[in-house]
Structure 1
Amino acid sequence: MNIAVLSGKGGAGKTLVSVNLSEVSENSTYIDCDVEEPNGHLFFKPDNIIKNNISVKIPIVNNDLCEGCRTCVDFCKFNALAYTDKLLIFDDICHSCGGCMRFCPNGALSEKEKVIGEVQKGVSNGIDVISGILNIGEPSGVPIIKELLNHIDENSHYNIIDCPPGSACVVMESIKDADYCILVSEPTVFGAHNLNMVYELVKLFNKPHGVVINKYINEDNPTEKLCKEKNIKILDRIPFDKELGNLNSDGVIISREKDEYREVFESLLNTVTKEVKYEAITNP
């Protein structure tokens, strides 16, 4: 079962939920797709780490063959190519689609490998921990996320996907194989606004979903109201707790340390499991 955990903004509690769901699962793989700022490993502190570079292909030009026709420049919608007295290629904004090479009438363009980041895999307390890290300045983490999702273990009872914050293309890539999406939000106006963004996204992808309200105080909050207005299922409410905040900021997995929070996340996992089974029956 593939469970994606999303939030419309950073700091809402997405990694808190992802890490602890992985911890309370009997057999799980944790996949950190927040490749710009991965932090799940700070909690798991995995051992036996294996690192693999992730590369993309970018164009190089043979100026002896280039006649300055600008076909490639006109093709590139990302403005990664320009022509002055010779063809200029801006690696940092190239999206590695390969179209410029295909359309060059003189075969002046070929490709070279460019390392954009890496994937790290380790083990923590029997949990496979897989993280992607995008190099600073790279335009897109999608190639790394695609490689991360290749590590989904069909033999694992649960694959917990810690998505990037927001609703951009990296998030879309992260949820495409998800059986269920958990949307994590704070009980604030800003939290409700950003929850609505990811809610619209999972609806677009037709993914079963529910909300976890983190730092919960009472029912009179904008996120609760949004869920009632749009009939979004609230899976759980994690109370505002100073001790939880302190432990979390220290990189402690709270379900390992506190039985009451282990019960919270076991209950959440059971609820999501029932939701997925119900969805499988009603929409085979």
Structure 2
Amino acid sequence: MENRLKIAVLSGKGGTGKTLVSVNLAYTAKKALYLDCDVEEPNGHLFFKPDYLTKEDVSVKIPYVNDYLCNGCKKCVDFCKFNALAYINNKVKVFSEVCHSCGGCMEICPESAISEINKSIGKIEKGNLEDVTVVSGILNTGEASGVPIIKAMIDDENINEQVTIVDCPPGSACIVMESIKDADYCLLVAEPTLFGSHNLKMVYDLVRLFKKPFGVVLNKTQDGFNPSKEFCENNKIKILSEIPFDVELGKLNSDGKIVSKENRSYHDLFAKLLTDITKEAQNEAIINS
């Protein structure tokens, strides 16, 4: 890890408290990088309200067909497994929304009638709150995949903070896989419901598939039966923290406040959680070295 730590925060569904945990881990880390990879609905910036905002466009390559060179052989149409090309009215039509930018159609064309052009799919915004660098990926409405935006965020060569917090998209699809690929540790956030335990299992299976060290935060806990806690105990999963169901926390969070900034007890809770994650990740690094 070269003394740097990248923590990916996951949940099997939206609304579990993933962003709550991510934002407050980044804030208590002091000097940190917060990456909001929930590119369809990024909301971390609503808490940080970063200054010095910069914007960077993210584009992908899509095919452009020169109708004068195309001889209508349809090899490109037959090649594309995503049905992004069709031969209509003696012309090849490109459906850019489902194109995966593989470039295969351009390579297979015998007449060199296909080239590539840039298509904007979204943007990356960067700013700061105190010593936290806040980076948000924003996917344009109607685009099918935010993976290229997340890849650009994760692979940024300028990332040099000691602690990076990756606020992953909910679920366990390709965009989540891209978000956790370089993570040193995965933190799974779950609610105390049957639905919550079902979705916890989704991300549990994912991080095990990727062979990532991980632990769990149980959010909105109350007295009584907790299916997510039972799932952790049955599968010998380490529970790193339990965040209580708390009206004050809920109000601060709904008002766009960073709870660890406003409330000392929650600052201590998230600071301890970060310390425990760091120890877990270091122990895992030693075991695998």
Quote the sequence identity (%).
61
Structure 1 Cα separation of the partners of residues 251 and 31 of structure 2: 28
Matches within 5 A, 1:55-204: 55-84=59-88, 85-151=90-156, 155-204=160-209
Q: With the length of structure 2 as denominator, give the TM-score of the two structures.
A: 0.96
Task: Say whether residues 1:4 and 2:8 are aligned partners.
Answer: yes
Consecutive aligned runs of 4 or more in structure 1 exceeding 4 Å deviation = none
Gaps of 5+ in 2: none
Q: Unmatched 5+ residue regions in structure 1?
A: none
| Whole-Å separation in 2 of the counterparts to 1:231 and 1:24 | 28
Q: Choose from 14, 27, 41 the match for 2:18.
A: 14
Alignment correspondent of 1:273: 278
Alignment partners' CA distance in 2, 1:72 and 1:219: 60
Corresponding residue number in structure 2 for 1:25:
29
- Distance (Å, rounded) in 1 between the aligned partners of 2:235 and 2:158: 34
> Larger deviation: 251-260 or 216-225?
216-225
Q: Whole-Å Cα distance in 2 between the matches of residues 283 and 252 of structure 1? A: 39
Shift of 1:220: 2.0
Q: Contact 1:7–1:194 at 8 Å: present in 2 too? A: yes
Q: Deviations over 1:139-181 (max 9, x none)?
A: 1101100111133765312000000000000000000010000
What is residue 42 of structure 1 aligned with on the other side? Answer: 46
- Counterpart of 1:227, as a letter, is C
Question: What CA distance in whole angstroms lies between the structure 2 residues aligned with 1:153 and 1:107?
Answer: 37
TM-score with structure 1 length normalisation?
Answer: 0.98
> Which stretch of the first structure deviates more once superposed, 109-118 or 145-154?
145-154
- Verify: 1:218 aligned to 2:223, yes or no: yes
- Asked if structure 2 preserves the Cα contact closer than 8 Å seen for 1:213 and 1:234, the reply is yes
| SS of corresponding position for 2:127 | strand
Q: Which amino acid aligns with 1:107?
A: S
| Aligned mates of 1:90, 1:49 — CA distance in 2 | 33
Contact 1:29 1:153 survives alignment (8 Å): no
Letter in 2 for 1:10: G
Helix, strand or coil for the counterpart of 1:54? strand
Displacement of 1:219 in angstroms is 5.7
Q: How many residues align?
A: 284
How far has the Cα of 1:248 moved from its partner?
A: 0.3
Aligned residue in 1 for 2:233 = 228
Aligned partner letter, 1:70: K
User: Could you tell me how far apart the structure 2 residues matched to 1:32 and 1:152 are?
Assistant: 17
Verify the 8 A CA contact 2:147 2:174 in the aligned structure 1.
yes
Return the alpha-carbon distance in structure 2 between the equivalents of residues 160 and 41 of structure 1.
14
For the residues of structure 1 that align with 2:201 and 2:79, how far apart are their CA atoms? Answer: 35
What are the Cα deviations for residues 65-112 of structure 1, in whole angstroms up to 9, with x where unaligned?
111211111111111111122111111111111111111111110011
The separation in 2 between residues aligned to 1:183 and 1:118, in whole angstroms, is 27
